[in-house]
Amino acid sequence: MHIASTILMIRPAAFSFNAETAANNFFQNANDSLSQDELQKKVLLEFDNMVQTLVSHDIEVLVIEDTPEPAKPDAIFPNNWFCTFPSGMISVFPMFAPSRRTEKRDDILQWITENFRASGLNDWSEYEAEGRFLEGTGSMVIDHDNKIIYACLSERTDISVLEKFASSTGYNAITFKATDKHGRPVYHTNVMMCLGDRFAVICEDAIADEMERIAVTQLLESTGHDIITISLEQMHAFAGNMLLLLNMHSDRFLVMSQTAWDSLNKEQRMQLDLFAKPLPIAVPTIEQVEGGSVRCMMAEIFLEGK
């Protein structure tokens, strides 16, 4: 059973609306009522509260400060540029927006390898030059137990890079197309789907092609997952953007935003309760301005500590 008990988070130094990423992240909305300074303060309050909430539930959180220069409006979402595997491998990914490529910091990777046992590092950034991208555990929802990668294809999730990555890790890639309530491509798989060891939260309505939808749901069921379906409206409320974590006592928590929790009905809440303790955390400003929620803020560390 591969559920992370340690996560890494980046405390942002220059959070702001990123017009470059808004080109295909339709969950983003500029907040013109706040000055840059007010926005930064509000976001840091949300970030610090999230860290405090996780730590108060005995979940190990490694917080790294963002560097002020160059300004990185999306630094708060580290899971897009790197991920770790239970095998010990660290991977670095090709990013769609040039403004996000500066998030890749060698000092962070070095710190991880100094503190954890890593078997190697693969950097896939060369595909940026070809305009082909794969944005970490935003693009991929990974079932480490069954070695399956679920991915909805978009400008940020290139099938050829995905298949090369899957092949290099010995995992199988399952791809499909997903669209939002306006028929636009869903930019990241992790906004429409969350995978636990025994359950899956998924917006089936986002997968328009019936054969693809059946293939995904059948595979989830055959690998022992109870499916909890969310609507397109709930997907837009970030109800697919959850992450199952263990704390130091092996208690199971399903971390999600308050927005996501508020969107769920009584039956869905009861279903989730069977698998983990729901842990809603309010990050409304982060969600609105940058179109990502709590799952995107957490990079799982599957490596063994030194």
**pLDDT score for 35:** 75
> What is the number of residues in the chain?
306
- CA-CA distance, 139 to 154, in Å (whole number)? 9
Nearest alpha-carbon partner for 74 in 18, 124, 125: 18
Peptide bond into 98 cis (omega under 30): no
Predicted model pTM: 0.94
What average pLDDT score do residues 162-190 get?
A: 95
Peptide bond into 70 cis (omega under 30): yes
CA 146 to chain centre: 19
Beta bridge partners of 202: 193, 229
| pLDDT band per the 50, 70, 90 thresholds, residue 199 | very high
Q: List the domains of the chain with CATH numbers.
A: 6-305 (3.75.10.10)
Q: Which two tokens stand for residue 214?
A: 């059946």
DSSP class of residue 57 equals T
**pLDDT score for 25:** 44
Q: Which two tokens stand for residue 171?
A: 């995992």
Percent of all residues in the chain with a pLDDT value above 70, rounded to a whole number: 93
Q: Is the pLDDT of residue 286 over 60?
A: yes
